[in-house]
Structure formats: C-alpha cells, structure tokens
A = this chain, B = another copy of it.
Amino acid sequence: MFLHIDDLLTRDEVSTLAELARHTKFISGRLSNPHNTTKNNVIQDPADASGKQASQIALTAIQRSEQARNFVLPRRIAIPTFLRYAQGMTYGAHVDAAFMNLGGQLLRSDVSCTIFISDPDSYQGGELAIYLGTETVRVRGKPGSAVFYPSTTLHEVPAVTSGERLVMITFIESQIPDQMQRDLIYTLNEVRALEGLKMDWSNRMSLEFVIANLLRMWAR
C-alpha cells in the first residue's frame, strides 16, 4: 500500500528546507551505492551542518504525523537526506538495500519515504516511478507532501528533462516488516478509529483483542 500525505511539512518548513538546500554541500549520489552505474544524482554531504538541520526538520515532521505513524508502525527512522536531480540526472530502476547502517546498528528498510520540496511545475520528468510488474505507479508530489511506499519494490527516477527536482528521502524500519500484514493491522486500526465509538463495547473489545494479538504475532 501507498500513503500520500499532502501536508507532511508546513509551508514554512518547505521554505526553510529549500533555503537550507541552497547552503548545503552536495556530493555524488554514487558514493552511497558505488556499484549502481545508473545512479546519477547528488545527495547531501552527511557532514554538512545545513544539511543536518534539514534532516532534523524532516525527521521531526515524520515523527509528529499521526497518519504516517498509523500507516508505517515505525520502529526506527533513518536520517532523511536531500537528493537533487539537475537536468539530465536520473536514478535507474533499483531496489533499496534491505539493511542500512544507522548509528552502528542495522536498520531494516521496510517503508521508503520521499518528501517533495520542489514545485512539480518547476521540473519535467523525474517523477518517482514504482514498478508493480507491468503496471507502474507514478508520483509527483506538491511541495511539503510525502509518499510512503514499500521498500520491497523496484523503483526508478527517470531523467529530469528540465528544471531541478529537490526531494528528501528516508527509510523506515517498521514493527511489522511484511507489507500485507502491516496493511491488515493498519486497516483494522482505521476501522477502530472510525467506528469504535459507534460500536457496542464488547465488539470494540473484540476488535482490540484481534489487533493486539496480530501485533504480537507479527512484530519482528
């Protein structure tokens, strides 16, 4: 499942991030994935102070979003990082690494997140393309919006043909690694939130009985 949140960031945060990006040092995206010859973009230098400030803003925004929490059931979140695609840049079809280093520990990437900073009217091409066999989901979000999608998919950023695409990306380890299982718990939680007060107390308890036991069964 996908979750597209229109306003993960406030307008002010979008402006701040765009401004911080202008002062952030960018380095070749190939550094984090040297073997992927189709990767041609630039990422924020992990040591850059402006970049670090931006990362913190994005992290806070994800953590405060109840919608994101309910959908992802996050355990740990990697440090969000700027990605910039100038004209002609691209990131060929790839799969995100299953495990990443987060402060000396391994973080399993279950859910990937792209936060859009650039205005979609300011660049052409460069949409996030997620391949589901012969069908493709294509996402070009408004500034401040974010899409959460399964890290298990093959996905691509086709070449930006004009303008510049600035996004932040991150990866989240969920309590529930299996996508289908995570979707089922998310869906039951939504039913409880939307119907709970209308339900007979004993039926509500039944629903909580199921949700709690699925969490115990599937959390890993």
Question: Which A residues are closer than 8 A to B by beta carbons?
Answer: 1-4, 38, 71, 75, 92-99, 106, 108-110, 132-135, 137, 139, 151-152, 154, 175, 177-180, 183-184, 187-188, 190-191, 194-195, 198-203, 205-217, 219-220
Contact = CB atoms under 8 A, between A and B. Distances in A.
Contact of A137 (B71, B132, B187, B208): B132
11 contacts: A2-B135, A94-B205, A94-B208, A98-B215, A98-B219, A109-B216, A110-B216, A179-B180, A180-B180, A184-B213, A188-B206
Given A95-B212, A98-B212, A199-B195, A152 B133 contact: no
Contact of A135 (B139, B175, B200, B217): B139
A102 B62 CA distance: 23
Contacts of A132: 1-2, 132, 137
A220 to B, nearest CB: 6
A47 B134 CA distance: 35
Interface SS of A by simple majority = mixed
A3 B75 CA distance: 32
Contacts of A184: 209-210, 213-214
A68 to B, nearest CB: 12
A213 B137 contact: no
Contact of A1 (B110, B133, B178, B208): B133
A143 B176 CA distance: 40
A80 to B, nearest CB: 20
A178 to B, nearest CB: 7
Contacts of A96: 212
A215 B92 CA distance: 22
